[in-house]
A = this chain, B = another copy of it.
Amino acid sequence: MKTAAFTPMRLLDPLFTTDPMREIFSDAQRLQRMLDFEAALAGALVMAAIAPASVLPAIKSQCKTDRFEFAAIAREAALAGNIAIPLVKALSSLVAREDTKAATFVHWGATSQDAIDTGLVLQLRDALELIEEGLANLHGALSRLAETHETTIMAGRTWLQQGPPVTFGLKVAGWLGAIERHQTRIERAREQAMVLQFGGAVGTLAALDGRGLEVAAALAHELKIALPELPWHAHRDRLGEVATTLGLLVGTLGKIARDVSLMAQTEIDEVQEPAAPGRGGSSTMPHKRNPVGSAVALAAAIRVPGLVSTMLTAMVQEHERGLGGWHAEWETLPEICMLTAGALGQMTQTIEGLEVHPEKMRENLDVTHGLVLSEAVSFALAAKIGKKQARQIVEEACRQALDQRRQLRDVLFERKDVTDQLSMQEISQLLDPNHYLGSAGEMMKSVLSPSRKPRKKAKRDSSSRGSSE
């Protein structure tokens, strides 16, 4: 196996991505997927009776990465401008050793970009399947967390300032709702992008003598991907959509991570990332538990937008096949997939094992001595004496409570302009956070409702992921 040396784990891989995604975008798989294309092409040429059936065994048997010298291909690619040229050359030589006639039909009618792009599509199929599985897992974890904390009360926070209460369940339901929308988006992007690239030198399949579409159809069928209306060598919107769709997902993962890490601040301590031996330790502060999962997701949320902008900028590709833009994608799109997988994996682990401190949530709700519920009083008063006057009274009372470090309730009890309108019992109730949750419960239910059709957990069909040998 010459392959092994070419799929090593790098130092930061386990932190920033997952093993399966790293494997999909390893050099070995990059080549294997191109070889899958070449093997399937041979099959398609035979089906279209362009090549004799006899050429198949010789070609298919060589379409395995372990037959190739990676370093030599890499070096030649630096001169040729892409890896398909040396790969096809090496494949032809290998096949020729067995069967010179078969060698003629290697890559017949195709251009480098056909092999590279279709190979990428096959890698993306695996990648999106992984992401969908990951999303299903995160979805499950979030659903459970939301249900568990349906009534766990905590401070709502806006502009990093405390506001009226929410439930932790509602907050989690918000994360969940976004994840569901991403599931829909990824399905759509997948449908758009899982298409064959096969056009020959300039997209006309001229070398196939007018039988190009027949070969293309057979090839798409063999590879189990769709046949597009036209080759899309210089039209990269489908790949761009994969990038933007993952970019949107990573934005949400970053948002969840930001929330988790803010709640995990030492002073707030409402949640902690899961504990595990070696996890989140600090080299100098033995008691600390660093939110490693959040750090990874936040890092991805900082990195992926720039990579997405690269994919969009790269779309301006010249004529039938472009210069530079295409090259700019080769490492960028895999990087997006790997960072997405890493962030998704880390946040899933984080959510699955999240330590939640409901008592601390409740405690934090009291740090303002009731001020976060001033809105409740304000609205109750407004309904009686008008908003403007109500707001003035409440603002005064709040300031008093702040200055004197007293409970808002006690201040309100003393104000005749308040007690004229509201009884002490009414005031107490208004300042009870459990009575100021509005429609939180109902809203959550609509997200968690079991009647909503559950998105099936993607099952990995291993047969479709292996090499097509």
Contact = CB atoms under 8 A, between A and B. Distances in A.
A449 to B, nearest CB: 9
Interface string A237-276: 1101100110110111011011101101111100000001
A249 to B, nearest CB: 8
Q: Which of A265, A382, A439 has the most CB of B within 10 A?
A: A439
A300 to B, nearest CB: 8
Interface stretch (A98-106, A136-144, A350-358, A461-469): A98-106
Contacts of A37: none
A229 B444 CA distance: 8
A15 B375 contact: no
Contact of A312 (B14, B155, B158, B308): B308
Interface in A40-94: 70-71, 73-86, 88, 92
Given A159-B291, A204-B440, A104 B382 contact: yes
Contact of A258 (B77, B170, B318): B318
A329 B456 CA distance: 34
B315 A372 contact: no
Contact of A306 (B8, B313, B394, B439): B313
B298 A71 contact: no
B325 A302 contact: yes
5 contacts: A9-B74, A85-B282, A162-B266, A174-B235, A295-B324
Interface string A1-17: 00001101111111110
Contacts of A264: 160-161
Interface residues of A, number: 196
Given A232-B174, A283-B112, A241 B248 contact: yes
Interface in A143-192: 155-166, 170-171, 173-175, 177-178, 181-182, 185, 188, 192
A12 B156 contact: no
A362 interface: no
Q: Which of A175, A236, A286, A288 has the most CB of B within 10 A?
A: A286
A277 B258 CA distance: 31
A285 B155 CA distance: 13
A83 B286 contact: no
A301 B316 contact: yes
A412 to B, nearest CB: 13
**Copies of the polypeptide in the assembly:** 4
A370 to B, nearest CB: 10
Contact of A292 (B80, B105, B367, B394): B80
Interface stretch (A123-131, A218-226, A384-392, A413-421): A384-392
A113 to B, nearest CB: 8
A74 B14 contact: yes
A110 B438 CA distance: 12
Given A86-B278, A170-B203, A259-B318, 9 more contacts: A12-B83, A15-B327, A79-B281, A170-B204, A201-B284, A207-B376, A213-B439, A286-B375, A286-B398
Nearest 9 A/B pairs, CB to CB: A298-B324, A156-B202, A251-B315, A206-B438, A244-B244, A306-B306, A204-B438, A299-B327, A14-B78
A454 interface: no
A111 interface: yes
Contacts of A248: 237, 240-241, 244, 312, 315
Contacts of A157: 202, 266, 318-321
A100 B86 CA distance: 54
Given A27-B11, A111-B284, A315-B251, A290 B330 contact: no
B104 A265 contact: no
A364 interface: yes
Contacts of A86: 278
A341 interface: no
A287 B371 contact: yes
B324 A302 contact: yes
A185 to B, nearest CB: 7
A447 interface: yes
B321 A177 contact: no
A181 B189 CA distance: 11
A103 B391 CA distance: 13
A313 B301 contact: yes
A233 to B, nearest CB: 8
A289 B386 contact: no
Q: Which of A202, A394, A447 has the most CB of B within 10 A?
A: A202
